[in-house]
């Protein structure tokens, strides 16, 4: 559909990623006429949602709940897999602990309480799930044991998610108008009435009875990253789309929307130091390097600078990109020995990788570009010599295999680096998405700075502020997008229909 063919609809959704697609489907199912605007061309649609590995964090009470999402689980040898449970209480604890107890309690309750229903909703629209056996569970003593609350992933990750949701949009007859960037909200005293947008160089006005902003964060905008997250963040690599430029935040705040959440915070991970400036869909999320709990990290000075074993990677990876950004030159090297090779995820075996190997630590350190080799060797020897309790290495639990007496101790999984060949991976920070967003009600209505809802304006996905501060538990972004997308779509439809 081109903008010229466009006539006023009930609900206009800005964006065409996960949150937007679910908002549009939800509004459609609530009886509204719907259209979507997408700044990207069709072949680059889907925003960050297209880049995801598909981790999806939801509550479940044992394997029966999982079977409803992933019936193929029945074909597995269930006696050899311990799926455990993930309760509302555990999810709340994780959200509270990770955000240093700052996450908005009401929005968090909505997120968690709807998380399983959101997975079921996706399944209803054709999205397939699979158990995350290789990623969130390891085989120990012949049995897979899950940890970290992520039992299932979306099968085929973001590519499958976006393709399936867009097939559902097409089946529902919901048009997506591509190459159209919304940059201003049309409104009068009473309500939002549509958007002003740019389509291939021409400015258009697109009218609607309600608007859902689901156009992502501002992570792709270097100027906004430097302004809000801080110095040097303009130099960070972006893991996903180049299209999330913060227009949604700006156009909403221009008409009085309240900001919410951690505007100087962002989800940022360790990412190949030679990755391109923005994500590459042919590589997806595989530039990430998340197995650092089984090795050590060195900076340019040859020093360790964080506790690699503080927690499972799911609970530290989104914050540790920030620690890398604090290092000289904004980079680090992850060092492993060969004992743990079987634990390394596929992202350590991609062809486009910054990797060095050697048979001794002495031969490895001069290969680490930008690192002081003498200091690096001293650090690695001191790490190996540090005293350790007499406990066995176990990647499934906080094993307590820790060092003592180092300037920065490693508090779990601190095996010595003693088995050649040794291997090292160069990383910098890759920003995933920004935490600062708009204040919304539990009905996904955008609030103004006086606390009143702005009539006809809803928001969902990364643009919602208040869920994440400092850190993030993997698999929450997608479930938040589905949950608030569904609520925003239904709310916008009801508003448009005068209900």
Ligand X SMILES: Cc1cc2nc3c(=O)[nH]c(=O)nc-3n(C[C@H](O)[C@H](O)[C@H](O)COP(=O)(O)OP(=O)(O)OC[C@H]3O[C@@H](n4cnc5c(N)ncnc54)[C@H](O)[C@@H]3O)c2cc1C
Binding site for ligand X (CB under 6 A): 14-20, 37-40, 45-49, 51-55, 181-182, 214-216, 239-241, 243-245, 247, 279, 285, 432-433, 461-462, 475-478, 481
Is 359 exposed, middle or buried (CB count within 10 Å of its CB: 0-12, 13-18, 19+)?
exposed
Residue 183: how many CB atoms within 10 A of its CB?
17
d(CA 198, CA 180) in angstroms, rounded, equals 5
Nearer CB in complex with ligand X: 21/496? 21
Q: How far is the CB of 34 from ligand X (least distance, A)?
A: 15
d(CA 363, CA 355) in angstroms, rounded, equals 14
Residues 462-496: b if buried by 16+ CB within 10 A, e if exposed? bbbbbbbbebbbbbbbbbbbbbbbbbbbbbbbbbb
Nearer CB in complex with ligand X: 214/319? 214
d(CA 256, CA 234) in angstroms, rounded, equals 27
Q: How far is the CB of 355 from ligand X (least distance, A)?
A: 20
d(CA 365, CA 336) in angstroms, rounded, equals 12
Q: How far is the CB of 338 from ligand X (least distance, A)?
A: 28
Nearer CB in complex with ligand X: 436/481? 481
Q: How far is the CB of 128 from ligand X (least distance, A)?
A: 15
Q: How far is the CB of 183 from ligand X (least distance, A)?
A: 6
Q: How far is the CB of 175 from ligand X (least distance, A)?
A: 14
Q: How far is the CB of 82 from ligand X (least distance, A)?
A: 22
Nearer CB in complex with ligand X: 180/354? 180
Nearer CB in complex with ligand X: 47/465? 47
Contact 319, 415 (CB under 8 A): no
Residue 213: how many CB atoms within 10 A of its CB?
35
d(CA 196, CA 210) in angstroms, rounded, equals 14
Q: How far is CA 237 from CA 40, 429, 433, in A?
A: 19, 6, 11
- Provide φ and ψ at 154, rounded to 5°: -75, 125
Nearer CB in complex with ligand X: 52/403? 52
Nearer CB in complex with ligand X: 174/417? 174
d(CA 247, CA 185) in angstroms, rounded, equals 10
Q: How far is CA 373 from CA 48, 417, 423, in A?
A: 38, 16, 15
Q: How far is the CB of 123 from ligand X (least distance, A)?
A: 16
Q: How far is the CB of 214 from ligand X (least distance, A)?
A: 5
Nearer CB in complex with ligand X: 206/335? 206
Residue 326: how many CB atoms within 10 A of its CB?
12
Q: Which residues contact 109 (CB under 8 A, 6 or more apart)?
A: 442
Nearer CB in complex with ligand X: 302/437? 437
Residues β-bridged to residue 145: 82, 138
Q: How far is the CB of 53 from ligand X (least distance, A)?
A: 4
Q: How far is the CB of 305 from ligand X (least distance, A)?
A: 24
Dihedral sign (CA 111, 117, 122, 125): negative
Tokens for 5, please give them.
């063919």
Q: How many residues would you count in the chain?
A: 499
d(CA 127, CA 118) in angstroms, rounded, equals 11
Nearer CB in complex with ligand X: 302/475? 475
Give residue for tokens 């998405």. Answer: 433
Q: How far is the CB of 153 from ligand X (least distance, A)?
A: 7
Nearer CB in complex with ligand X: 244/270? 244
DSSP-derived secondary structure letter, 163? H
Nearer CB in complex with ligand X: 181/379? 181
Contact 210, 495 (CB under 8 A): yes
> Residue ranges of the alpha helices (H) in 206-295?
222-224, 247-254
Q: How far is the CB of 58 from ligand X (least distance, A)?
A: 10
Q: Which residues contact 101 (CB under 8 A, 6 or more apart)?
A: none
Nearer CB in complex with ligand X: 99/244? 244
């Amino acid at each position: 559909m081109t903008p010229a063919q466009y006539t006023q609809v009930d609900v206009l959704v800005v964006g065409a990623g996960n949150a937007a697609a679910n908002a549009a489907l939800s509004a459609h199912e609530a009886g509204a006429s719907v259209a979507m605007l997408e700044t990207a061309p069709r072949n680059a649609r889907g925003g960050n949602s297209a880049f995801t590995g598909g981790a999806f964090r939801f509550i479940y009470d044992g394997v029966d709940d999982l079977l409803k999402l992933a019936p193929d689980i029945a074909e597995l040898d269930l006696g050899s897999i311990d799926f455990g449970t993930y309760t509302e209480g555990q999810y709340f604890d994780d959200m509270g602990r990770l955000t240093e107890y700052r996450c908005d309690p009401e929005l968090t309750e909505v997120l968690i309480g709807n998380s399983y229903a959101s997975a079921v909703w996706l399944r209803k629209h054709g999205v397939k799930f699979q158990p995350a056996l290789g990623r969130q569970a390891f085989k120990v003593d012949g049995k897979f044991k899950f940890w970290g609350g992520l039992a299932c992933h979306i099968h085929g990750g973001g590519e499958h998610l976006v393709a399936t949701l867009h097939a559902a949009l097409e089946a529902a007859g919901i048009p997506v108008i591509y190459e159209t960037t919304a940059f201003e909200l049309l409104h009068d005293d009473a309500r939002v009435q549509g958007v002003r947008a740019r389509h291939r160089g021409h400015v258009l006005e697109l009218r609607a009875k309600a608007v859902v902003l689901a156009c992502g964060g501002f992570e792709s905008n270097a100027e906004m990253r430097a302004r809000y997250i801080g110095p040097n963040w303009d130099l960070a690599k972006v893991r996903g789309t180049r299209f999330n430029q913060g227009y949604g935040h700006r156009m909403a705040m221009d008409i009085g929307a309240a900001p919410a959440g951690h505007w100087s915070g962002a989800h940022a991970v360790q990412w190949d130091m030679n990755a391109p400036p923005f994500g590459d869909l042919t590589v997806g999320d595989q530039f990430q390097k998340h197995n650092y709990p089984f090795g050590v990290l060195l900076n340019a000075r040859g020093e360790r600078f964080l506790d690699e074993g503080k927690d499972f990677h799911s609970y530290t990876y989104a914050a540790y990109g920030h620690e890398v950004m604090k290092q000289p030159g904004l980079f680090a090297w992850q060092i492993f020995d060969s004992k743990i090779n079987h634990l390394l995820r596929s992202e350590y075996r991609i062809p486009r990788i910054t990797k060095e190997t050697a048979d001794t630590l002495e031969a490895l350190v001069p290969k680490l570009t930008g690192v002081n080799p003498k200091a690096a060797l001293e650090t690695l020897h001191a790490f190996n010599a540090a005293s350790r309790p007499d406990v066995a290495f176990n990647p499934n639990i906080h094993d307590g295999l820790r060092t003592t007496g180092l300037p920065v101790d490693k508090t779990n999984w601190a095996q010595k680096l003693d088995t050649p060949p040794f291997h090292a991976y160069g990383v910098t920070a890759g920003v995933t998405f920004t935490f600062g967003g708009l204040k919304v009600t539990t009905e996904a209505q955008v609030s103004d700075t006086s606390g009143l809802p702005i009539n006809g304006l809803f928001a969902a996905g990364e643009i919602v502020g208040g869920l994440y501060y400092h850190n993030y538990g993997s698999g929450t972004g997608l479930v938040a997008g589905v949950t608030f997308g569904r609520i925003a779509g239904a709310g916008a439809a009801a508003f448009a229909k005068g209900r």
